[in-house]
Amino acid sequence: MPGHSSQFSLDGYAHLLDAVSENGYRIMRLCDYRIECPGARVLILRHDVDMNPVWAKTLAEIELARGVRSTFFVRLRAQYNVFQIENQAALHWLRDSGFEIGLHNDTVSGGSTREEFVAEIALEKRLLEEAVGDSVRGICPHMPKRQKFRLTPNEIVTCGFLYDAGEHIFNKHAKFASDSSGMWKNDLNPVNLLGVEQQIYLLTHPVWWVTNLHPQDVLPQLQAWK
């Protein structure tokens, strides 16, 4: 695939899922892992939908064909509108197919005070629930190092969330791997972790798998919508 590693393709994603299953790993949504905290071989599967919910659906269709369900974090402050007909249809399909949808809040969320931040997050949660037609239990900051505030455990409960995707519980036993910026962060390809790590926490971004866009073209757009 031009623009980035050839492993980031729809076929590459299918092969990745197959390798995970063949090595005896159970693929889990974040909400299920947060409740069950299993000890056996597990891959926690998360997707940050930075650019297009329809691309998210494309990845999810590959998972559905394999009996897999995962978690998709959706932005309210992005170049896509969750209430646009095609995007909302994709979100409804995810919901009806058993996938979890969480809030991917942005660096601009929340104004200048913690009180404004908490109020804004609560509003974004309600708007996403309206778009999805279901409750939203998870939150995950977009570009977390640029976030001025982050919900405390008490605020997570107050806002009606079950969890923050960055909570220690998800990283305590699981090795984190991410396709951030169109490459495996720290050269940690999850396939190479199979059989080595009992638990893996995998983050993907649909844009790298569904399109042939080059990271140098995509990343400025993400920066502009931070």
The tens place of each residue's pLDDT in the chain, 226 residues long, gives 333 455 799 999 999 999 999 999 999 999 999 999 888 899 999 999 998 999 999 999 999 999 999 999 999 988 899 999 999 999 999 999 999 999 998 766 556 788 888 888 999 999 999 999 999 999 998 766 666 778 889 999 999 999 999 999 998 999 999 998 888 999 999 999 999 999 999 999 999 999 877 666 655 555 544 4
Residue 215 lies in a domain: yes
Residue 27 lies in a domain: yes
The angle, 0 to 180 degrees and rounded to 10, between the axes of the packed helices 85-96 and 114-132 is 80
pLDDT for 223 equals 52
Residue 2 lies in a domain: no
pLDDT for 214 equals 67
pLDDT for 100 equals 98
pLDDT for 183 equals 87
Distance CA 101, CA 92 (A): 10
The pTM assigned to this predicted structure is: 0.91
CB 91 within 8 A of CB 131: yes
Residue 5 lies in a domain: no
194 is written with which tokens? Answer: 């199979």
pLDDT for 112 equals 76
pLDDT for 3 equals 39
CATH number at residue 122: 3.20.20
CB 135 within 8 A of CB 129: yes
β-pairing, 174-178 vs 163-164, is: unpaired
pLDDT for 218 equals 58
Distance CA 133, CA 125 (A): 12
Number of domains in the chain: 1
Count CA within 13 A, CB hemisphere, residue 120: 19
Query: Does an H or E element contain 97, and which?
Result: none
Residue 4 lies in a domain: no
Nearest residue to 221 (alpha-carbon basis) of 52, 54, 1: 52
**Phi, psi angle pair for 218, to nearest 5°:** -85, -45
**Phi, psi angle pair for 51, to nearest 5°:** -130, -30
Residue 127 lies in a domain: yes
